[in-house]
Structure 1
Amino acid sequence: MATGTFPSYGADYVTQQKKIAVILKGYPRLSETFIAQELLGLERAGFELTLISMRHPTDRKRHPVHDEIRAPVHYLPEYLYQEPLRVVRGLVRSSRLPGFRAAWRAFLKDLRRDLTPNRIRRFGQAAVLCAEWPEGADWLHAHFIHTPASVARYASLMNGTPWTCSAHAKDIWTSPDWELEGKLSDTRWTVTCNQTGFDRLRGLANGKNHVHLSYHGLDLDRFGPFAGAHSLRDGSDPEDPVTILSVGRAVDKKGYDILLQALALLPAGVCWRFVHIGGGPNLEALKALADRLALAGRITWHGALDQHDCLEAYRRSDLFALACRITADGDRDGLPNVLVEASSQKLACVSTDISGIPELLKDGENGFVVPPEDPKALAGAIERLIRDPALRTRLGEAAERRVRAEFDHHVGIRQLTALFENEWQVA
């Protein structure tokens, strides 16, 4: 399931594998299972990886997939002032590289347009990376086209290592056109995981046919078929309410304030409870909003949980809701992996028609899709699903069929393998 032409590969070629340094904003992260899944898939495909993280982890838990990844992790200085000697040493050593002047000129050009500490930090991190270069690494790949790609681009200019990029959601929509154009002109290729992001990047690539659409999909071995059945609750029994589940970080783009407002609009006679899984900076504000809406007694806030616990929650619940939105600064989801996960467990989903969500959910066919920022429409869809367990079953089964047919992550791994191997195959 992809747009664009992917190179072929196979037994006709003898490949000389290269070691890939993968630049990540932070590692490990509970909210980025799709990245960890991809890293493990590339290792299993035979690639040797070194992970370069721009931040130390903040999550107290890890997913099982993180423990299966063998690649070593190298942490850059998160803030330059915290490790001044390391940064100075990095600048001195990288200044001897043949491409340092070109990187410095590119940095100054960017700095004139983006006079921020963040811009300076990325150049310093690139210098440290080049000075502490992982032994044997001869390729750079950045996950996200905003700050990780900035480090990758400056480092590539300094030491001549070619680089590629995976773009996802916020990074595409909150980066200015001039910055995306510059990075797209330098990267060997870029992949993205949703059609709207692909269209934006392809439009900024100035005619280069090197942007590809590749859904990251789901590891269906971890999310095997649900052998049981979801309940036939219909919201009529206060002793056995319908369970509405949502999994996601409490951040603006997830629209949890809209979801809470929608729950408050449900008729008084409808019996439900809401379960939320995820951390995030807005969590306390959402709990306060739930109090004001007189919903607190019907809500369970679990905080961040690992993948195994999320899987169990999908199977215990009756429907899944996520009110994604576009924020004032343009931030938005691409295709939230939690919708794919929930669908894989025959869980009927309701979400909004932004970004890649309609690429998974077809309204009335395998889920409900409503406009963003519309609590009334969202409440109407949720109420329909609460009252009609047969409808939930039909939509959930259709969603599972779609995921298992078209969102298997092995397809994406094969596409990435082809792109990487095409760069260094020898006849």
Structure 2
Amino acid sequence: MPSDQPRSDRPRRIGYVLKMYPRFSETFIVSEILAREAAGEEIVILSLRAPTDARFHPELARVQAPVIPVGRAASPRRLWEIWRGAMADPDLAAGIAATLPELVEAEAHDAEQALEVARLAQEHGLTHLHAHFGTLATTVARLAAAIAQLPFSFTAHAKDIFHRDVEDADLEQKLADAHHAITISEYNLRHLRARFPEATGRLHLVRNGLELERFPYRPRHGIAEVPRVLAVGRLVEKKGFGLLIDAIAALRDRGATMTADIVGDGPLREELAARITQRGVEDRVRLLGPRTQEEVRHLLQEADLFAAPFVIAEDGNADGLPTVLLEAMATGIPCIAADVTAVGEVIRTGETGWLIPCDDTDALSTALLEAAASPELRRLTDAARALIEQEYSSPAQARRLRELVEAGRPVGEAARPAAPVPTTRS
């Protein structure tokens, strides 16, 4: 039953609307929720899809928030029952009436899940909805917030900004209706404010946070005779792992020996395995498959160098600022990364690591050699750790997120969607 307590007097309770939870590759969401809970906020997680990953990170056990699956009707009868149930509540019925043109125009599952999220928000006393990625989750959160007469916000990362399938009209409408919108880097913030100038006041920078105590600093006192390079991420085009394989082969041809371990899984696994064979580096490059955060932390401690050879994918997708690069910098491993989007905000040649041109195998192999022989590793990694401590701590992230929720419109004053816009699915 809905609470009789006036909306403005209710304790704040944040509903996280996520496409899928938990998701093995989205450790930054778990870290964010843990930080907000540690700061005293109440969180409820609403998952629009059932998880499909076979492995999960142990940090999930620390999350206190209940996880509520938001189902999708398997029959027209079930869909009608959801609509009828929502219409039976006067508050939700008023919200449905106000958003009816958009609900009719929306994808059937989006409309249905928006109704269900609105009902669950009322049932669980939620005062604000927040989504990650400006695609499916934000589509549903925006409609649900309008129905339930709640404010909503969302965090934009990378694919939901730069992919060629992102529709400007859709993202612009979401920005216009949001209580506030967040992005994770200065690069993204400048890009979005230039692209959507009317949303400038609603767009805010909140960097991803790390639990720094989980990533103790261990500077390298020397590099092994055969340096071991570590790379971590989903096996997708934008990570550039094919360039790392080529760089290890190029170093062999130059008479230098390095090995590389690539951690992760994804659609390019077979292609990368074939590339390893084609380049004749089966004895030097290993595909280790997916690993938990704890396992990656140990690998970061054991490796000599960390490589992040990002590229801009054919579909326009580019990495934002991967959490694992921040984790690597925190632990004291020397980092080499390609200059895409916001990477230059943390990797600065001669200061915190080696920033190389995008999609350049020669630059990558040369930087690996330079890093392995550098007499200044301790100075660079000290500076890298200091930067992470200063700008990427979880407590600071949680404080800023709370400030944004508490600023501006009071709880319950949500912007009404103005007109039907195309939905963007992820």
Which TM-score bucket, shorter chain as reference? 0.7 to 0.9
Following superposition, the deviation at residue 297 of structure 1 comes to: 1.9
Aligned length: 394
Residue 14 of structure 2 corresponds to 20
Q: What's the secondary structure of 1:180's corresponding residue?
A: helix
Give the Cα–Cα distance (whole angstroms) in 2 for the partners of residues 149 and 282 of structure 1.
28
Following superposition, the deviation at residue 265 of structure 1 comes to: 1.5
**1:215 touches 1:407 (CA, 8 Å); kept in 2?**
yes
Q: What's the secondary structure of 2:291's corresponding residue?
A: coil
Q: Which moved more, 1:81-90 or 1:293-302?
A: 81-90
Give the Cα–Cα distance (whole angstroms) in 2 for the partners of residues 124 and 200 of structure 1.
33
Residue 421 of structure 1 corresponds to 406
Give the Cα–Cα distance (whole angstroms) in 2 for the partners of residues 207 and 16 of structure 1.
29
Residue 105 of structure 1 corresponds to 101
Q: What's the secondary structure of 1:54's corresponding residue?
A: strand
Instruction: Please give the residue correspondences for 1:278-293 in structure 2 after superposition, counting only pairs within 5 Å.
Output: 278-293=264-279
1:39 to 9, 33, 42: 33
1:232 to 223, 227, 233: 223
Q: What's the secondary structure of 2:375's corresponding residue?
A: helix
1:276 to 243, 249, 262: 262
Q: What's the secondary structure of 1:419's corresponding residue?
A: helix
1:410 to 395, 398, 407: 395
Give the Cα–Cα distance (whole angstroms) in 1 for the partners of residues 322 and 9 of structure 2.
34
Letter in 2 for 1:100: I
Letter in 2 for 1:218: L
**1:249 touches 1:280 (CA, 8 Å); kept in 2?**
yes
Distance 1:224 1:88, change over 3 A: farther
Distance 1:123 1:258, change over 3 A: farther
Letter in 2 for 1:290: I
Letter in 1 for 2:151: P
Distance 1:83 1:256, change over 3 A: farther
**2:14 touches 2:128 (CA, 8 Å); kept in 1?**
yes
Give the Cα–Cα distance (whole angstroms) in 2 for the partners of residues 128 and 207 of structure 1.
28
Q: Which moved more, 1:346-355 or 1:404-413?
A: 404-413
Q: Which moved more, 1:19-28 or 1:127-136?
A: 127-136
Distance 1:375 1:281, change over 3 A: same
1:149 to 110, 131, 138: 138
Do structure 1's residue 185 and structure 2's residue 176 form an aligned pair? yes
2:235 to 227, 241, 250: 250
Give the Cα–Cα distance (whole angstroms) in 1 for the partners of residues 128 and 355 of structure 2.
41
Following superposition, the deviation at residue 168 of structure 1 comes to: 1.3
Residue 316 of structure 1 corresponds to 302
Instruction: Please give the residue correspondences for 1:375-394 in structure 2 after superposition, counting only pairs within 5 Å.
Output: 375-386=361-372, 388-394=373-379
Q: Which moved more, 1:340-349 or 1:324-333?
A: 324-333
Q: Which moved more, 1:195-204 or 1:85-94?
A: 85-94
Give the Cα–Cα distance (whole angstroms) in 2 for the partners of residues 157 and 127 of structure 1.
10
Do structure 1's residue 67 and structure 2's residue 56 form an aligned pair? no
Distance 1:292 1:391, change over 3 A: farther
Letter in 1 for 2:311: R
Give the Cα–Cα distance (whole angstroms) in 2 for the partners of residues 82 and 200 of structure 1.
40
Do structure 1's residue 337 and structure 2's residue 323 form an aligned pair? yes
Structure 1 unaligned regions, length at least 5: 1-13, 112-118, 235-240
Do structure 1's residue 164 and structure 2's residue 160 form an aligned pair? no
Give the Cα–Cα distance (whole angstroms) in 2 for the partners of residues 61 and 292 of structure 1.
31
Q: What's the secondary structure of 1:326's corresponding residue?
A: coil
Q: What's the secondary structure of 2:267's corresponding residue?
A: coil
Do structure 1's residue 303 and structure 2's residue 299 form an aligned pair? no
Do structure 1's residue 138 and structure 2's residue 127 form an aligned pair? yes
**2:260 touches 2:286 (CA, 8 Å); kept in 1?**
yes
**1:244 touches 1:317 (CA, 8 Å); kept in 2?**
yes
- Cα deviations by residue, 1:294-328 (Å, 9 ceiling, x for unpaired): 11221222211111111111110000001112222
Give the Cα–Cα distance (whole angstroms) in 2 for the partners of residues 243 and 219 of structure 1.
26
Residue 127 of structure 1 corresponds to 115
Following superposition, the deviation at residue 401 of structure 1 comes to: 2.2
Distance 1:424 1:384, change over 3 A: same
Give the Cα–Cα distance (whole angstroms) in 2 for the partners of residues 357 and 103 of structure 1.
40
Give the Cα–Cα distance (whole angstroms) in 1 for the partners of residues 385 and 130 of structure 2.
32
Following superposition, the deviation at residue 65 of structure 1 comes to: 2.1
Give the Cα–Cα distance (whole angstroms) in 1 for the partners of residues 119 and 84 of structure 2.
8
2:191 to 187, 193, 200: 200
**1:90 touches 1:127 (CA, 8 Å); kept in 2?**
yes
- Cα deviations by residue, 1:42-81 (Å, 9 ceiling, x for unpaired): 112111111011222222222232111111111123xx46
State, as a whole percentage, how many aligned pairs show the same letter.
31
Residue 4 of structure 1 corresponds to none
TM-score (norm 2): 0.86
Letter in 1 for 2:345: E
Runs of 4+ in 1 over 6 A off after TM superposition: none
**2:133 touches 2:155 (CA, 8 Å); kept in 1?**
yes
Residue 218 of structure 1 corresponds to 210
Do structure 1's residue 209 and structure 2's residue 201 form an aligned pair? yes
Give the Cα–Cα distance (whole angstroms) in 2 for the partners of residues 52 and 364 of structure 1.
44
Distance 1:229 1:164, change over 3 A: same
Structure 2 unaligned regions, length at least 5: 1-7, 412-426
Following superposition, the deviation at residue 250 of structure 1 comes to: 0.5
Following superposition, the deviation at residue 391 of structure 1 comes to: 3.9
Do structure 1's residue 398 and structure 2's residue 398 form an aligned pair? no
Instruction: Name the Cα RMSD after superposition.
Output: 2.3
- Cα deviations by residue, 1:16-54 (Å, 9 ceiling, x for unpaired): 532111111211122211111111111121111110112
Following superposition, the deviation at residue 380 of structure 1 comes to: 1.5
Letter in 1 for 2:188: G
Q: What's the secondary structure of 1:100's corresponding residue?
A: helix
